[in-house]
Structure 1
Amino acid sequence: MPKISLVVPAYKVQGYLTECLDSILGQDYTDFEVIAVDDCSPDGSGVILDRYAERDARIHVIHLTENVGLGRARNVGLEKAQGDYVLFLDSDDTLSDGALAAIADRLAATGDPDILVYDYVRTYWDGRVRPNQRADLLSGEGPDVFRLSDRPQLLDLLQIVWNKAYRRDFITRTGLTFPPGYYEDAPWTFCSLISAERIAILDRVCVLYRQRREGGNILKTVSRKHFDVFDQYRRVFDFIAAHEELDQWRTPMFCKMVDHYLTVLERPDRLPRNARAEFFHRAAADYRAHRPEGFQRLAGGRGHKYAMLERDAYAAMASATAAVKFRRRVRARARSAVNRSKRSAMGVFYQSQLRLPLDENLALFSAYWSRGVSCNPAAVDAELARLAPHIRRVWAIRPDAVDQVPKGVEYVRVGSRKYWAALARAKYLVNNVNFPDAVVKREGQIHLQTHHGTPLKTMGLDQQKYPASTDMDFDKLLKRCDRWDFSLSSNAFSTAVWERVYPSSYVSLEAGYPRNDVLVNATAADVRRARAQLTLATGTKAFLYMPTHREYQPGFDPGLDLGRLADELGPDVTLMVRGHYFYGSSPHIAELRRSERIVDVSAHPRVEELYLAADALITDYSSAMFDYAVLDRPIIIYTPDWDIYSTVRGTYFNLLEEPPGMVATSQAELIRLLGSDEYDGPDAAERRAAFRLRFCEFDDGRAAERVVRRVFLGEETPLPFVPFTERSHAPTPDQALESVERA
């Protein structure tokens, strides 16, 4: 008998079913069974289920001879379930990595409660991920096991069944089944929660709730089927009436019912227009029938709509709704007109600024599409302040990132009048990507392209050979490159690549990367400070894991079972994980924040400080390896998908043959390497030395000074490079600690 039974109904999901099943079978926890119910699906879903069942005995398939709907299909699966606990998973959704192990561990830790509630995120077809807006209800202090009366706010979670694990004997004892029709989750969810004697929560994302672009959610279909909601709440109140001990929940259920009815009325994608009045009158009848004695409606919020239902005043509700819609349309049209006017006016304003003289003492900086103050431009900014304080330094910052700007830094909001004025009049424009296409290169203006990494993956025109990796307009790309006066390089390898893939008439500035100066010049105190800011305890070994962006993946995927890796490394190791800046919020990243020995450093403003704090770097194809190599610390290359990545994106050399250290192509191999001294042994050191000689050629700690002297001060004679064999670098964390002990 398995610990967990997963009931997975399937109907017209052949495009998603494989991913759903893979997410289950790929779990590291194995004590489960899958009851897959083919709800007489007209597509290939049944065939897919049978194919998986042939390969894995844990999958049991039931083929229904007629379509019975989601609720009754779940009932069929529930009857066959043998596990101690039952989980429901919709067949277009997926489990997050490690979800079942986390659920099983939490069940054991809380003494096998009746219900375990866990978190989820919404995932969208365009790669966006939106956290559960009420995830806060799953955190906070309190007993591990409780009754709903201790945390009644759990009723405010979305009325769904697939964010919970249910003890099977509790289901049997309570007599829970799914009713037919729409909104079948409501009576199950409410009746189970108010009945449970022992509830626990798991503050972890376990389900990725797919939001299908083509509208896979039947609840967003205009239909009279939405009238099913009345039967569902009748079942809830019948359940309460049959259990006198649950009478305390009558008022909360009444409020949930009314709010649900109002939601159906308010949504334009639910009811046919000619059915709205009928629905309202049915809702008003239920309001009067189920209103608890002494109930006082709220004064604010939806209170006025409660009053309209109480009076069955449909005409008033319809008039109020029409008035609100009219005001919204007027405001939307006004905003649209204003935005069009602003864009037109901003274009005129920019043109007017272009006719004014250049400000010879103004430099405009930007990094990573104006996401913040960082990378090579930030290092150049700091050195410019030291060597040429008469030059005013201003940063272009996106409106949604201004709260991240360090104190004392002058900035302009992207899109504002000040922004366009600075673009038009600044003598110097510094960026590690490109400024917008609309920017005009003025005579006398100097554009410095600093880039933001040594290229392993193909770039620029070379990407034309790998069309799956980009949808770039290459003509526009070259027009942007034609604005460059200087192209910064940290090694001769990069210079050759840049000049081939960005063929324009700029000057290649072989100066090293200014952002890496700190890796050469940092002191033991700097290393200790970097570790202290990350709260890394003395004696803790810190591995920094930095995977790069993959064009064939829609969102951040760490590529590792991070929990297992942390467990294998032991309590004296901290794993710091940094997702690529292309990715926003992510269920994986959200999960990392909740762990004590896995630290999410994705939002850390200065990656160079992470490098200083880390004892070793684990990466795949990220340009981080070229920068971290300056420190001469261990680098471990983890490339489980080298064949895919090199085929889709293309690379300039074979990383497996010319790595900066040891290479692992599987998690097991990575764990073995990290658990031994091999990753920092003689073989690894030899590979790292060859790599550093090739790719850290110009990084001697004076790159920023070279750039400022050449670009801003006009000095033609470059600073000489410190011979490679004579260069220093920041001390390791162990050396930084030893210096304190010696003192």
Structure 2
Amino acid sequence: MERFLPRCLDSILGGPDDGRFELIAVDDLSPDRCGGILDEYAARDPRMRVLHLAENQGLGGAREAGLAEATGRYVWFVDSDDWLPEGSLDAITAELERELERERADAAPADILLTGFTHVYPDDSTEPNPWRHLLTGSPLVAGGTLREHPALLRAVMSVWNKVFRRDFLLGLGVAFGRGFYEDISVTYPALVAAGRMRYLDRSCYYYRRGRPGAITSTASPKHADAFAQYDAIFAFLDRHGMDAADPLRTLVFERTLKQALTVYDSPGLVPATMRKEFFRRTSEHFARHRPAGYRFPGGASGLQYRLAARGSRLAYDELRRGGRLPRELRRGARAVAPAVRRGVRSGARFTAYNAFRRLPLDEHLAVYAAYWHRGYGCNPAAIYEKAKELAPRIRGVWVVENRAQAAGLPAGVPYVILNTPAYLKAMATAKYFVNNVNFPHTMVKRPGTVHVQTQHGTPLKMMGMDLRDHPVAADGMDFDRLREAVGRWDYLVSPNPHTSEHFARAFPGRYEMLDTGYPRNDRLANTTPAEVAAMRERFGLPEGRTAVLYAPTHREGQGAFLPLDVEELARRLGPDFTLLVRAHYFLTGGPGDLVTGEDAAEIRDVSKHPIVEDLYLAADVLVTDYSSMMFDFAVLDRPLVVYAPDWEEYQEVRGVYFDLFAERPGAVTTDLEGLTRALLSGDSEPDSRARFRERFCPWDDGGAAERVVRRVFPADLA
């Protein structure tokens, strides 16, 4: 534990000493140097006191000892192997001060402040709070009770994401249990009894999962300690007069039963010699605390609960292995299917994914994704198509977020939906991964897997580690986590020498840079007049009409934003033009309703058209600002206009790699008058465009995807 402790202490004590908190650190007779480390920190910081226990009492006993010494209005229990994100303590203190203001105004303060958190896995990958959707938009954001929002019982039951009003907690008459699962004998009673709870929608805690020595990854007979904690929970409910038929009591019962079965089901937790006894105690728990009038739920959970109630361990194990249902329950088989088809929740995902990871790697399976699982496109799509041609033994499967996106895939493209069992198995067993962003950190890189990172644009703006000096643009970026993500890459695809130079610094790692050109631009380099004509016809662009594609990038912190008065531009250009307006996918919606008269250019919102290359081929000219689209469109050698009214501000906020005015792709303007002149004059700067293409498009010869496939899949080439 001593290797984790300094980070924990630094995250708490690193802020200014404003006298608003005290830190009580409990040395539970630690066998390593933790006690000495605590004393060293306390000698430097008067906010910290150290309690050295005379005998080891476990985490529950240590918390009880610390609580007895606390003097503050609120208490927060932080585990020594975890740590707090920067600013968390200030944010929580501000929330608690608001609650104290309520108390001074004779209104009830919050008994519990719940916070967001982040899971951190042994490889330093992270997972945002998987139960956040249960809390955002709930009554607890403004202040409420468990009875008003019983879905809270489905979230994590630990204390580390809950800040308690001290007098409330002491008045409950409960204590942290001895042994494993010590939290729940406090958290359940506290949630039930709280007269007011608040939820702070901010990640205020980094919680380590699955580290060696943690109870969630340790085989031990002490997992049976949970049953004593369950008894303490229901004893509290009895003392406080909660009726046996109260719906909340039923929810608590089902939650404890589910936890016991999850522990039993998790590989490597309950020792093999104790599994029979653990299941027997689960059945006893069911019989002892079953609420009056309890009815089994439907689906797979109902079947499992019935078997647990009967003590039918062998039948339960058979069902969990996916084998035959017990004969007496086969009639319920139809109820199982919907439960199996639904997406897997976080705890079950973690278990299922780890189970799938025990399977051998599928040497011929490649998983593809693009733009955070939004669909089929960009460099991964071009690589997928070329791999089908050149490496037919590779089976590609696409990850999409939902069924609506799956419906938009080209015919015949195999897919899995995010967080389903099929997705977890594919991610656990695939040999190859191809994406233009990072896969979730929870998808851990296995020995032998090959990660191909393509990114999705030539950078004008600064990227990755280069943003450390641009705090507005880097808002929320975890640079340590970025390094870990880059550490998984085996290949990084580069579109041009400029990108190779800057990506090597922005994304430092041991990957191989593939100086191939962008696979997605092969279509542009290989296009024919017939394909261009087909695209113009598809968008209803008559011969002689000039099609202008307007596609600005997003600005940090500006939401739905188009920096151009499109309607006024349409009036200035006249009816011989059509404006195709494409808002950036980070923006909220398209440009909205844009109306012009019959003497103005037609305006079309093409923001939702899924394939941007179609728009490139249909357009006669591109108008953009700082978007990487300019580098792709330049492959077509067509007029390009940069409209950059906020160039000075953008350089300062985001940071750029070159002066766009000096190395221009065509006409560059900062006002509407200049933009209008550039569009009406036609191809005004062919020499600038030629120099731009020479620097940024030297590898765009139509063979980029083939070069990537031949390097990544050499053993599977036809």
Q: TM-score, normalised by structure 1?
A: 0.52
**Structure 1 residue 332 displacement after superposition:** 6.7
**Structure 1 residue 453 displacement after superposition:** 8.4
1:101 aligns with 2:90: yes
Q: Distance in 1 between matches of 2:463 and 2:192?
A: 58
**For residues 19 and 410 of structure 1, do their structure 2 counterparts lie closer, same or farther at Cα, with a shift above 3 Å needed?**
closer
Q: Distance in 2 between matches of 1:316 and 1:713?
A: 62
1:626 aligns with 2:653: no
Q: Distance in 1 between matches of 2:356 and 2:368?
A: 23
Q: Which moved more, 1:283-292 or 1:103-112?
A: 103-112
Which runs of structure 2 are paired with 1:161-560 in the superposition (5 Å)? Answer: 161-211=159-209, 213=211, 215-245=212-242, 248=246, 249-322=248-321, 324=323, 336=360, 339-340=362-363, 398-401=368-371, 404=374, 413=381, 416=384, 418-419=386-387, 421=389, 487=497, 534-535=559-560
**For residues 504 and 93 of structure 1, do their structure 2 counterparts lie closer, same or farther at Cα, with a shift above 3 Å needed?**
closer
- Encode CA deviations 1:555-607: one digit per residue, 9 max, x unaligned: xxxxxxxxxxxxxxxxxxxxxxxxxxxxxxxxxxxxxxxxxxxxxxxxx9879
2:125 aligned residue: 128
Q: Distance in 1 between matches of 2:23 and 2:278?
A: 39
SS of match in other structure, 1:320: helix
SS of match in other structure, 2:171: helix
Q: Distance in 1 between matches of 2:660 and 2:27?
A: 54
**For residues 224 and 528 of structure 1, do their structure 2 counterparts lie closer, same or farther at Cα, with a shift above 3 Å needed?**
closer
**Structure 1 residue 263 displacement after superposition:** 1.0
Kept in 1, the 8 Å contact 2:307–2:316? The answer is yes
- Encode CA deviations 1:243-297: one digit per residue, 9 max, x unaligned: 1156533211211121111112111222111211111112112211211111100
Kept in 1, the 8 Å contact 2:146–2:192? The answer is yes
SS of match in other structure, 1:76: helix
- Encode CA deviations 1:454-495: one digit per residue, 9 max, x unaligned: 99999xxxxxxxxxx99999xx99xx99x99x845999xx9x
Which runs of structure 2 are paired with 1:606-685 in the superposition (5 Å)? Answer: 616=649, 624-627=655-658, 630=661
Q: Distance in 2 between matches of 1:226 and 1:470?
A: 32
Q: Distance in 2 between matches of 1:79 and 1:610?
A: 65
**Structure 1 residue 117 displacement after superposition:** 0.6
Q: Distance in 1 between matches of 2:261 and 2:485?
A: 44
SS of match in other structure, 1:206: strand
**For residues 405 and 707 of structure 1, do their structure 2 counterparts lie closer, same or farther at Cα, with a shift above 3 Å needed?**
farther
Q: Distance in 1 between matches of 2:465 and 2:148?
A: 54
**Structure 1 residue 333 displacement after superposition:** 11
**Structure 1 residue 617 displacement after superposition:** 5.2
1:53 aligns with 2:42: yes
2:7 aligned residue: 19
- Encode CA deviations 1:293-336: one digit per residue, 9 max, x unaligned: 1110012131111111222222322333455599x99x979985
Kept in 1, the 8 Å contact 2:2–2:34? The answer is yes
**Structure 1 residue 175 displacement after superposition:** 2.0
2:62 aligned residue: 73
Q: Paired residue for 2:143, among 142, 145, 148?
A: 145
- Encode CA deviations 1:664-703: one digit per residue, 9 max, x unaligned: xxxxxxxxxxxxxxxxxxxxxxxxxxxxxxxxxx996664
**For residues 101 and 610 of structure 1, do their structure 2 counterparts lie closer, same or farther at Cα, with a shift above 3 Å needed?**
farther
**For residues 15 and 472 of structure 1, do their structure 2 counterparts lie closer, same or farther at Cα, with a shift above 3 Å needed?**
closer
2:154 aligned residue: 156
Identity of aligned residues (%): 31
- Encode CA deviations 1:637-671: one digit per residue, 9 max, x unaligned: xxxxxxxxxxxxxxxxxxxxxxxxxxxxxxxxxxx
Q: Distance in 2 between matches of 1:526 and 1:537?
A: 9
1:114 aligned partner, one-letter code: D
Kept in 2, the 8 Å contact 1:118–1:205? The answer is yes
1:686 aligned residue: none
Q: Distance in 1 between matches of 2:33 and 2:47?
A: 21
**Structure 1 residue 109 displacement after superposition:** 3.3
Kept in 2, the 8 Å contact 1:35–1:60? The answer is yes
Q: Distance in 2 between matches of 1:709 and 1:47?
A: 60
SS of match in other structure, 1:203: strand
**Structure 1 residue 404 displacement after superposition:** 5.0
Q: Distance in 1 between matches of 2:230 and 2:171?
A: 21
- Encode CA deviations 1:122-147: one digit per residue, 9 max, x unaligned: 12343311111111122115361111
1:115 aligns with 2:138: no
Q: Distance in 1 between matches of 2:356 and 2:486?
A: 32
**For residues 531 and 174 of structure 1, do their structure 2 counterparts lie closer, same or farther at Cα, with a shift above 3 Å needed?**
closer
Runs of 5+ unmatched residues, structure 2 = 103-108, 326-351, 393-435, 438-448, 451-456, 467-482, 505-511, 517-547, 564-626, 632-641, 664-685, 703-718
Q: Distance in 1 between matches of 2:500 and 2:317?
A: 67
SS of match in other structure, 2:235: helix
Q: Distance in 2 between matches of 1:284 and 1:218?
A: 22
SS of match in other structure, 2:115: strand
**Structure 1 residue 218 displacement after superposition:** 2.3
Q: Distance in 2 between matches of 1:233 and 1:23?
A: 33
**Structure 1 residue 167 displacement after superposition:** 0.3
Kept in 2, the 8 Å contact 1:183–1:232? The answer is yes
Kept in 2, the 8 Å contact 1:38–1:46? The answer is yes
**Structure 1 residue 419 displacement after superposition:** 3.2
Q: Paired residue for 1:86, among 56, 65, 75?
A: 75
Q: Paired residue for 1:62, among 51, 65, 85?
A: 51
1:669 aligned residue: none
* Count of matched residue positions in the alignment of Structure 1 and Structure 2: 456
**Structure 1 residue 39 displacement after superposition:** 0.5
SS of match in other structure, 2:91: helix
SS of match in other structure, 1:94: coil
**For residues 255 and 55 of structure 1, do their structure 2 counterparts lie closer, same or farther at Cα, with a shift above 3 Å needed?**
same
Q: Distance in 2 between matches of 1:297 and 1:615?
A: 65
Q: Distance in 2 between matches of 1:293 and 1:455?
A: 60
2:349 aligned residue: none
SS of match in other structure, 2:159: coil
